[in-house]
Amino acid sequence: MTSRPPFPPFDEETAQLKVQAAEDAWNTRDPERVALAYTVDSVWRNRDRFLVGRDEITAFLRDKWSREGEYALRKELWDFHGPRIAVRFQYECQTLDGQWWRSYGNELWEFTAEGLMARREASINDLPISEAERRIFGPRPESERRLPLPVR
């Protein structure tokens, strides 16, 4: 089985590292890369969608990012305990019709001993914005990182 450090149980530093790693991966908009952080049988709730397994997650992300141009995400650690992490996030994107959106949400994550996410529960709300209201432009700059990521 593949592993993804850091491993639970999390402390503040390792939880922050896990959150930053997730943000960085999602900002690549690479469904195959992102899906590798999840177990092969990972269970997701994303808004009103329920997904099971890495293949469904990959297909979901591929479809998502085909419709959401200029996607840029920020995640913030909310809390952690044992193998679980709670985050809040916001992202911005432009849909195919040219409308800009800011989406806000909360996620609950549960990890295996190998550091793979076995469960993800996401609640998300969307707000239409104008291009002038945008405030997230690409991945987080180094100057805004909370902790440096380990060298890979």
pLDDT in tens, 81-101: 999 999 999 999 999 999 999
- Measured over the CA atoms of residue 65, residue 44, residue 72 and residue 92, the dihedral's sign is positive
Model pLDDT, residue 18 = 97
Model pLDDT, residue 1 = 61
- Identify the band that residue 142 occupies on the pLDDT scale cut at 50, 70 and 90: confident
Q: What is the mean pLDDT of residues 21-35?
A: 97
**Predicted model pTM:** 0.93
pLDDT in tens, 54-73: 999 999 999 999 999 999 99
User: Do you know the residue count of the chain?
Assistant: 152
Q: What is the mean pLDDT of residues 4-28?
A: 96
Q: In terms of DSSP H, where are the helices of the chain?
A: 12-28, 31-35, 54-67
- Measured over the CA atoms of residue 145, residue 148, residue 151 and residue 152, the dihedral's sign is negative
How far is it, in rounded angstroms, from Cα 16 to Cα 37?
A: 16
CA angle 8, 10, 13 (to 5 degrees): 135
DSSP, collapsed to helix, strand or coil, labels residue 74 as: strand
